[in-house]
Amino acid sequence: TKNILNQFISNRANGIKSFAVLIDPDKTDTSTCLQLIRNCVENKVDFFFVGGSLITGNTMGQVIKLIKTHTSIPVVLFPGSNLHIDMSADAILFLSLISGRNPDFLIGQHVISAPILKKSSLEILPTGYILIDSGKQTTVSYMSNTTPIPYDKPEIAACTAMAGEMLGLKLMYLDAGSGAQRAISSKMILNVRKSVDVPLIVGGGIRSANEAHEAIVAGADTIVIGNGIEINPGLLAEVSEKIDDFNKAKI
Ligand code: 1GP
């Protein structure tokens, strides 16, 4: 059933915040991955994002299989290229890198993958992918050969999101990049939030529950964390609790 986009949209409409955990298939062996999955189940994570801008191993399929055998939490592909498609996932972030000016990541990769995705049962999530500078060059900015939006230029991020929404993109993903030195500022999140109605995914460099909370208060609908959990597995429970508290206070 294709309902992940609707889940994002109805959560947004109801002011319900959600939590996505990014699994980089390169970074986990089976037992660490299994531990992480159990941790996610215990803490009621809403989505798994699986992927990354560069994948060197051949384990993405195994990671998805592992998730699928242990939970029913939806698996959303977070591809770095048209090579990162796996039919056993539930959905794919069909990312157009709208902060960049590299046509390959704006539309080229999409043309190559469209006929394959069309025949698949993957739910397509048309997403404006907006990279924000985080203090040091990230893998994604290098690999995509694009310049991220400067950290302190919220108006550029806002106009980029507006244009993406006008082009019909259904989700916006503000990303400082995995392993970012600093998370995206509240000011920028707020600016983007005020400029578009679509659900707003925010990630990159979030290392504490407080940072996650700030992003949510500023208007993020979905928080993505990868590295922070690898460094501190307890972060998962802390962030999940913050989100829960926020959602309960809302109801
Ligand atoms: C990266 O937003 C994700 O695309 C998560 O980043 O690994 O820094 O949490 P981190």
For residue 160, give its domain range.
4-250
Distance 22 CA to ligand 1 centre (A): 7
Q: Which atom of ligand 1 is the closest one to the Cα of 206?
A: 9
Distance 21 CA to ligand 1 centre (A): 9
Task: Report whether 21 contacts 236 (CB < 8 A).
Answer: yes
Helix (H, G, I), strand (E, B) or coil at 49: strand
Average pLDDT over residues 50-54: 91
Cβ(141) – ligand 1 distance below 6 Å: no
178-234 residue pLDDT tens: 999 999 999 999 999 999 999 999 999 999 999 999 999 999 999 999 999 999 999
134-164 residue pLDDT tens: 998 999 999 999 999 999 999 999 999 999 9
Given this model, what pLDDT does residue 37 score? Answer: 97
Distance 172 CA to ligand 1 centre (A): 15
DSSP string, 75-141: EEEE-SSTT---TTSSEEEEEE-TTS--HIIIIIHHHHHHHHHHHS-PEEEEEEEEEB--SS--HHH
Task: Report whether 137 contacts 180 (CB < 8 A).
Answer: no
CA-nearest residue for atom 2, ligand 1, is 203
**Percentage, residues of the chain above pLDDT 70:** 100
92-111 residue pLDDT tens: 999 999 999 999 999 999 99
Looking up residue 94, the CATH number of its domain turns out to be: 3.20.20.390
Helices (runs of H) and strands (runs of E) counted in the chain? 11, 8
- Compute how many other C-beta atoms are within 10 angstroms of the C-beta atom of residue 174: 27
Number of domains present in the structure of the chain: 1
| Strands (E) located in 113-219 | 123-131, 171-175, 200-203
Q: How confident is the model at residue 1 (pLDDT cuts 50, 70, 90)?
A: low
